Structure 1
């Protein structure tokens, strides 16, 4: 019966529902007195309005016959509502009553505490002995009598509520006893039941705390096959998703800082060249076109940054199409024209043919060429030489970018693809890099199912070569 967590909770729910109905029944019983009082109040107010109507008739047709009928109606209303009706005039003097035993009080006056608010035009509701008039608890409804919008007296309707306070206290005591018993029983049942399921939940709770501290490697080991076991599996799946999400988040932030820097620098250089007239006016349209292309690429980059993180998780879909890799390299060189001229670097481009069509994701390969060319310029000395070559071998195209800069130590070559790894520890050359460029390059090339190689000698050269599918 109690093999699954569902059956356990279901049993407890049945008990809780049963207890809840008992408590609700007690509450409803305790509220019954107020409900009856409210209903009685409505009846008395309605009767008071009727008395106001017949009082107006009495004033308009003041005669012994009408007055006798008036008193008869008062007695009839009193009998029907089981209440004592007292009608007073403007001075507080009792004009008529409905109770036979209270005829003797006619002609007497009510005190101001009894009639004051009513003769001021207010409706009143009181539960008590009506300022000592009655020996038992009564519900008193007082209403002003009006004729032509003037207060001509008041009517008080008094109906007994036998032992109402004592009944309420008794019901409240029963209510408290039943609630206490229900809480006690429910506590015992839930306590013993929770003991049987608390241990796995404690394990999940402990693992959740470690995850909250940023340790996403922890997993929960639960061997049960009930819903707790399913919860543990779901928890482990969630922890794995959070770990992947954290990795994607870190990659996202790092990629943003790296990927946006180069195009923004290019745009800034061309705009400054146009403003300070370094770029002739007849060439401004050419460079503004390049700036526009960079802005569009920035927009694409911003939209694709999340895709980059997904790409590292193997979820990024590449937009494979045919394009000219030679033309892409030419455009990349033009984008770095200012930096190339500043360092007086000579570019040697060796293309087997004027055009070389490849099949790849153009934006991604543009990112590869830009990163490699940026590194080549960065680590080249003034008046250095950068060799760029494109050659076909079978169904592949080999693209190489070689600089004659500081080179990379052989011991460091195996680490250059790691994130945040920087060969220039002193940052004498790489003042703005984040160590993500080559990691992004390798990721993109591998996503294409291609390869990338590196050759280097200290103080001589560094050469990166990657392959693409020939169109």
Structure 2
């Protein structure tokens, strides 16, 4: 029967832990970091959108021809956030965009836009009703005045930027894992020095005892389980050797008595 060495099993398990741990850090870490960035960034963008929506200048200009006076101020905010900022009127039409000049008399309609469908969610990830070609992290905040909703402030942040940030953090996590994994390779030395070598000597001694060499001594002097096992086997071999001597002496005496009965 083929013998499977304990050291081979230990090494295979160690490699398995490394591969499994790396993929766990990569997949699980990627998901957790992305969700963390998504929640924290959406909260920050919603706070900014809410502050803009609460601004009196925005409330008063959303339906006037002077709405373009907000463009410069909003563009500065959008550039700081590395995002796109819109003002949407109550009809679901874009009247201000920090990335495109829009005539208030010719707004850009958003098909199927319905803020009520957002429910309690203050952000979404997607192409925002088909307007963008790539996924965006979008938040909206209502512009209210006299208990009526006059429009919405929408801020869009490209998910590609979030993915880049996620990749940077994930790379750091992977490097830290590999460093820690390399450090744990010291376990292989511990296993070899404190387990494999003493166990090899004990196995050699057991083979000698099985072959009848009861005078063989197992040279393991550690103060642990391996040392205790080696001392126990040495004691056992001494006792068996003594019993053998007693038997040989007894047989020799009996044989002598038979040869010399008188």
TM-score, normalised to structure 2, is: 0.49
The structure, 1 or 2, with the larger RCO (C-alpha pairs under 8 Å, 6+ apart) is: 2
